[in-house]
Structure 1
Amino acid sequence: MPRNIRGLTLGLTLLTSALPAIAFAQGLPPLEQKDSYRVGFAQTESNNPWRIAETQSMRDVADECGWELVYTDAAGSAAKQVADVNSMIAQGVDAIFLAPREETPLIPAVMNAKEAGIPVFLIDRNVNQSVAQAGEDYVTFIGSDFIDQGRRAAEWLVAETGGEATIIELEGTTGSSPANDRKKGFDDVIAEHPGMEIVASQSGDFSRDQGREVMATLLQAHPDVTAVYAHNDEMAIGAIAALEAAGRTPGEDVTIVSIDGTRDALQAIIDGKLGATVQSSPFFGPISCETMQRYAAGEEIEPWVKIEDMFFDASNAAEHIDEAY
């Protein structure tokens, strides 16, 4: 991911006087154009490579974007994340970037910021859009198409197994938008193929250790499993460890597909243990800076700033591993 984002900000020279009318027409707080901002970033947790890479991307862009970054880590607690956002509001930050741990519990924090006149940008995860909506309650969602990620994983698995598989699904954090959507995208495709059966589906909370533990338990109940779909690479790596401990051979008698595109996952593909992974980029710094600058310049921001993700399998994992995190 390039560090220099100056090229992304060319042309953002609309008159500041146009901003309040545009922002309030959207029902959103305005953001003044200025050289520097105090920006809050409310991270959900830092217990895996994806989150660490995302945080580093936000920190890397801060100086170039003119941000004094106010960073918090919710340590996996939705309640703490709400408190973190409320603390940012009390500190009077100019804008908040929020990676909501779960779809519904973070809505009060979004509403509190709006009431305080602070624009919120959601990154990597969304909130329940039947309660809070982009363009009205927060500026936009910047992130991937999680349903499409699940769909792409399923389509690859169907092709790889010839439409015949007994599947264990390792779900992400219960109530989070990527877990909900990655499950829907995958399950909808699998339902179209009678030879593909999901025999168990359980949360591993996007954690390597929990993925290993859940896989070990489910494997005892379903020793005939021939495929695993993990909602992220960390759980897939955990599942590989559990399968090997049980005497199975990942990549030979069990086909595994996951999502994220981490370095460990690409190495597992190279080693023949993981079949494929759908990229879900954590490098949100540059696009977050660009989007905030567009908003401050008076542009009406689209409700979803969509990230385009790659797909990694044996054909290209080695080519891209040096770029991975």
Structure 2
Amino acid sequence: MKSTRKFGPVVAALAAVLLTGGLAACGNSDTGGGSGTADDGKIVLGFSQVGAESGWRTANTTSVKDAAAEAGIELKFDDAQQKQENQIKAIRNYIQQKVDVIAFSPVVESGWDTVLKEAKDAGIPVILTDRAVDSADKSLYKTFLGSDFVKEGKLSGEWLVENKKSATAEVNIVELQGTTGSAPANDRKKGFAEAIAANPKLKIIASQSGDFTRAGGKQVMEQFLNSNPKIDVLFAHNDDMGLGALEAITAAGKVPGKDITIITIDAVKDGMKALADGKFNFIAECSPLLGPQLMDLAKKVHAGEEVPARIETEETTFTQEQAKEALPTRKY
């Protein structure tokens, strides 16, 4: 009995300390010190964007920001300015901040395993948007939300095969590639090459990166025109490079859409207008409006729900007449 009386006050004091500590721990969790959930209970999403290199990317950023606000998700946004090192730094910052979910559109496909493992070890689910990574360990991210870039390239090539099926001479094609090492550049090139293989008269005579920008598209197209006296077709991996190429083609005294058939990918408003005006000939759509789907996925993975490993966006293709019909109600 003496022993019990002796330790009674100590036990009581210890219990008080533990209770206080427990309350403090709960408080830290609520303020984002643990799970990353905001003070008001909102899910916190860290999103690293490639940059603002094109009209497509700008529309994509707007979609993500608007959808986060509508879904009641707190968004921590970072612009990587098309540099992988910036994106890795942003992801590590999100890990340190203990956000609930990380999403990003990878600048390039390779070199992500280390930082993705850091996120996995921290218990933070990762969603890939728009662009994929080539990691062999698929457990490093929960899902990929975006387009089938190979399909976009194939659709572009298949249209050209049909359009040039009566050609008797070789058809010289120049290709404006996207950012070197990026998923859309790799996959669109692959899909297009596979499709045009159906007609041996279709020849790619030059292929170079324009980095998905108008300035890059103009500069590289100028080089193509100076080096190749006969160009029949331009295949640009996005509208912005195609729009830059228009300037170079016009400056060279050629008529875009007539002297040179132009095929692009994206279907942003400026590209669709060029198509409707007959300056482009065909566009394969790649929708940037991924925000609502991303927010839905963020909620599901935060709740521990299973989601498909790959979720594709629904898209179509456009000819000149179809572009004229679609333009008045185009959202981007």
Alignment TM-score > 0.5, same fold: yes
Q: Partners of 1:275 and 1:324 in 2: how far apart?
A: 21
Q: Mapping of 1:228-267 within 5 angstroms?
A: 228-267=234-273
AA aligned to 2:296 is E
Shift of 1:149: 0.2
Per chain length, whose mean CA-contact separation is higher, i.e. which structure has more relative contact order (CA < 8 Å, sep 6+)?
Answer: 1
Match of 2:158 in 1: 155
Q: Mapping of 1:76-95 within 5 angstroms?
A: 76-95=82-101
Confirm whether residue 323 of structure 1 aligns to residue 326 of structure 2: no
Match of 1:137 in 2: 140
Shift of 1:51: 1.1
Deviations 1:143-176 (A, max 9, x none): 0000000000011111122264210011000000
8 A contact 2:46–2:77 mirrored in 1: yes
Q: Partners of 2:166 and 2:150 in 1: how far apart?
A: 20
8 A contact 2:53–2:212 mirrored in 1: no
Deviations 1:5-54 (A, max 9, x none): xxxxxxxxxxxxxxxxxxxxxxxxx999x952111010010132111111
Match of 1:7 in 2: none
Any idea what SS the aligned residue of 2:78 has?
strand
AA aligned to 1:323 is R
2:313 to 307, 310, 321: 307
Match of 1:127 in 2: 133
Deviations 1:97-124 (A, max 9, x none): 1100000133332222112111000000
Inter-CA distance 296–281: structure 2 relative to 1 (3 Å threshold): same
2:280 to 274, 298, 303: 274
Shift of 1:66: 2.1
Quick check: 105-114 or 120-129, which moved more? 105-114
Q: Which has the larger radius of gyration?
A: 2
8 A contact 1:107–1:127 mirrored in 2: no
Any idea what SS the aligned residue of 2:140 has?
coil
The normalised TM-score by structure 1 is: 0.86
Shift of 1:315: 2.3
Q: Partners of 1:132 and 1:211 in 2: how far apart?
A: 35
Confirm whether residue 61 of structure 1 aligns to residue 64 of structure 2: no
Quick check: 162-171 or 250-259, which moved more? 162-171
Q: Partners of 1:47 and 1:191 in 2: how far apart?
A: 31
Match of 1:15 in 2: none
8 A contact 2:301–2:307 mirrored in 1: yes
Q: Partners of 1:124 and 1:80 in 2: how far apart?
A: 18
Runs of 5+ unmatched residues, structure 2: 1-34
Q: Partners of 2:59 and 2:176 in 1: how far apart?
A: 22
Confirm whether residue 74 of structure 1 aligns to residue 80 of structure 2: yes
Q: Partners of 1:69 and 1:93 in 2: how far apart?
A: 10
Any idea what SS the aligned residue of 1:158 has?
helix
Any idea what SS the aligned residue of 1:167 has?
strand
When the two chains are superposed, the root-mean-square deviation of aligned CA atoms in Å is: 1.7
Count of residue pairs brought into register by the alignment = 292
Match of 1:171 in 2: 177
AA aligned to 1:289 is M
Q: Taking every aligned residue pair, what percent have the same amino acid on both sides?
A: 40
Match of 1:200 in 2: 206
Quick check: 108-117 or 276-285, which moved more? 108-117
